[in-house]
Amino acid sequence: MADIYTSHDDENIIEQVKTYGFRTPKAPKYRVLRLALAKSLSIDAHPDKDLDTLVGKGSEYWLEQVTGYGNNKNDGALDYDDAIRSVLSVYHNEDLFNSDARYKKLLQRHIRRGLREIRTSWNRGHSFIHWLREELIFEPAIETGSIINTELEQGQLEAALKEIGISTEIKESKQGIRLNKYALYLANIHHLDTLKKGLSKLSFRLGVPDDSITLEVGSEAGIANLYIPRDPEFWRIVPAQRLNEWAITKRPEKLPIWLGCTVMGDDFAMDLAEAPHILIAGATGSGKTVCLHSMLCSLLLTLSSSQVQLALIDPKGTEFSLYGKLPNLFGGQIGRNIVEAADILNALVDEMEMRNQHFIELGVRNYEEASHKIQMPRIVAVVEELADLLMQSRDLEIPLVRLAQKARSAGIHLILATQRPDSATFSGLLRSNIPVRIALRVQKHTESNIILDTKGAEALLGKGDMLVKLTDKPDPIRLHGAKLTDDNIAQAIAHYCR
Ligand SMILES: Nc1ncnc2c1ncn2[C@@H]1O[C@H](COP(=O)(O)OP(=O)(O)OP(=O)(O)O)[C@@H](O)[C@H]1O
């Protein structure tokens, strides 16, 4: 019997990393296994027991190959077994020197979780070096948030402001999650216009992308706030822990959705029941899927199966697979193709009509009133790629529009995501019935206009940087989402199913 086993999917990612990551197809596999172990150890929650189950047999390894156990010869695979056993003993707070079986089991869980993390956060089209820097090297340092020299930037800012004709006093500077905030006192009222017109020049002088500096009129008289992005190396990551901590506080919302942190790091949540539907759009890699996970995990962490039920449609077929374990998915399964998607959407329309009929019989007007007499879960339907779906079948717009128009009163809510926010995907009828919009980074300002009715999303920084347009606020709010991993999702699912 070998010591460590992998699945077919695990082996697939090992090959991908060797070929497209290391660019050395003949590299020994243990290098990838050790990298996966390091990735898993960077997560501060124990790997799930589910990882013991192997779906589709992959390969098997001996400790000698993985940790270099007993191998002190000079062949490049030296014996790190004691060191790895010590680290795992501390991580799990148990003495793994006394139980080989337990050690191997935990080692296998970590390696498999690490491989899964690599699979979800890197793909062969992306730079592997960049992934390593972000995932394994820079992130812990960024958490401390103290690397940047704001004084230096403050001096540069004052000099740049002078160049555009504004001599001002910087009243306050604060470091946000990705942006630094500078409160400027403008003694001359005309300087506000000069500042508005001079933002491009400031960007140029400070070496940040054009359009990435934003200006906000402060709440105090004469104060204007400038938000200047830091270099990605100095961003702070919003950890999933923020969502978990928020979820255990008492919540007034009926369908609580935590979207992330404000620029200065405060929690931001909304009530989907009030929204009552959300459109989320962003270019590839902007962080749409992670944002959807954050919404879904908010619901799973705060509500029970008697309070909320999910209906999931994912034409890509991969993004929602973890939620396949949910016991009460609407329609019994995730809609992964056009036929299944149509079935789910039409069943939602039937459910809506049935509920409305039931409300008439009960003598109530809507879900709110009915919920005092009977118990039925609200339903949240999520479509992962609206454009793909509508491209394959324009007919699906009919149930979507009906739901957008009428489902709220039946306790059914939509979250629609799309990579392509064009008017073909987001027609007038859908538009007018989905008032809450979330824009992650898009390619063109015209796309930003379609989502938010204003430009701005084209200048976002990507990776969970977003603008959220709510019905009761004139201007979109800027937020940074949390970086969720599959492990966080698995924990939220376990919480909901408990
Ligand atoms: N809030 C965040 N903080 C840090 N990194 C993030 C955040 N959100 C997303 N990312 C990273 O950005 C990358 C892209 O995220 P995601 O897969 O959600 O994008 P997407 O918009 O769904 O792209 P696609 O449409 O191609 O699937 C991932 O590597 C992810 O780890």
Ligand 1 centre distance from Cα of residue 463 (Å): 5
Tell me which residue has its CA closest to atom 16 in ligand 1.
287
What's the rounded Cα separation, in Å, for the pair 370 and 297? Answer: 26
pLDDT score at 339 = 94
pLDDT digits (tens, 9 = 90+) for 78-88: 788 999 999 99
Q: What percent of the chain has pLDDT over 90?
A: 63
In sign, the C-alpha dihedral spanning 291, 294, 299, 304 is positive
Q: Can you give the pLDDT at residue 77?
A: 56
Please enumerate, as own/partner, the contacts of 141-148 that have beta carbons within 8 Å and a separation of 24 or more: 142/233, 142/234, 142/235, 142/236, 142/237, 143/236, 143/237, 143/239, 145/175, 145/236, 147/234, 148/175, 148/180, 148/230, 148/234
Say if residue 289 carries a ligand binding annotation. yes
482 CB under 6 A from ligand 1? yes
Q: What is the pLDDT of residue 150?
A: 62
How many Å lie between the centroid of ligand 1 and the Cα of residue 102?
Answer: 34
Provide ipTM, 2 decimals.
0.96
Which range among 94-98, 169-173, 338-342, 372-376 shows the weakest confidence by mean pLDDT?
Answer: 169-173
Q: Is the CB of 68 under 6 A from ligand 1?
A: no
| Any atom of ligand 1 within 6 Å of the Cβ of 333 | no
Does residue 120's CB lie within 6 angstroms of at least one atom of ligand 1?
Answer: no
Instruction: Show Cβ contacts of residue 101 under 8 Å, excluding neighbours closer than 6 positions.
Output: none
Q: Rounded CA gap, 285 and 296, in Å?
A: 19
The whole-angstrom separation of Cα 484 and Cα 164 is 42
- Asked if residue 141 has pLDDT above 60, the reply is no
Entry pTM = 0.77
Helices 81-92 and 29-41 pack at an angle, to 10 degrees, of 30
397 against 130, higher pLDDT: 397
Boundaries of every domain in the chain? 4-144, 150-234, 240-497
Cα end-to-end span (Å), the chain: 34
* Ligand 1 pocket check for 65: Cβ under 6 Å: no
Q: Which of 289, 420, 465 to mutate to test the pocket of ligand 1 (most atoms within 8 A of CB)?
A: 289
Q: Is the CB–ligand 1 distance for residue 88 below 6 Å?
A: no
Q: Is the pLDDT of residue 151 over 80?
A: no
* Domain 240-497 in CATH 3.40.50.10470: no
Q: How far apart are CA 339 and CA 395, in angstroms?
A: 12
Q: Closest ligand 1 atom to the C-alpha of 419?
A: 25
Task: Confirm or deny that 282 is annotated as ligand binding.
Answer: yes
Residue 62 tokens read as: 């001996």
**DSSP 8-class letter at 233:** G
Q: What is the CATH code of the structural domain delimited by 150-234?
A: 3.30.980.40
Residue ID of nearest Cα to ligand 1 atom 30: 121
Query: Which atom of ligand 1 is the closest one to the Cα of 480?
Result: 1
Query: For residue 135, is pLDDT > 60?
Result: yes
Ligand 1 pocket check for 483: Cβ under 6 Å: yes
Stretch (H or E) spanning 110: helix 100-121
Region 290-305: mean pLDDT is 96
Q: Is 371 annotated as a binding residue?
A: no
Q: Measured in whole angstroms, how far is the alpha carbon of residue 320 from the centre of its chain? A: 13
Given this model, what pLDDT does residue 147 score? Answer: 45
pLDDT level of residue 73 (50, 70, 90 thresholds): low
Ligand 1, atom nearest to 282 Cα: 21
The model's pLDDT over 200-242, given as tens digits with 9 standing for 90+, comes to 999 999 889 888 999 998 888 889 999 999 888 788 889 999 9
**Ramachandran angles phi, psi of 80, nearest 5°:** -105, 15
- Taking the C-alpha atoms of residue 191 and residue 166, their distance in angstroms, rounded to an integer, is 6
What is the distance in A from the centroid of ligand 1 to the CA of 220? 37
Q: Establish whether residue 7 lines the binding site of ligand 1, counting it when its CB lies within 6 angstroms of any ligand atom.
A: no
Q: How many residues does this entry show for the chain?
A: 498
Q: Name the residue at shortest CA distance from atom 15 of ligand 1.
A: 287
pLDDT tops 80 at residue 470: yes
Is 121 touching ligand 1 by the criterion CB < 6 Å? yes
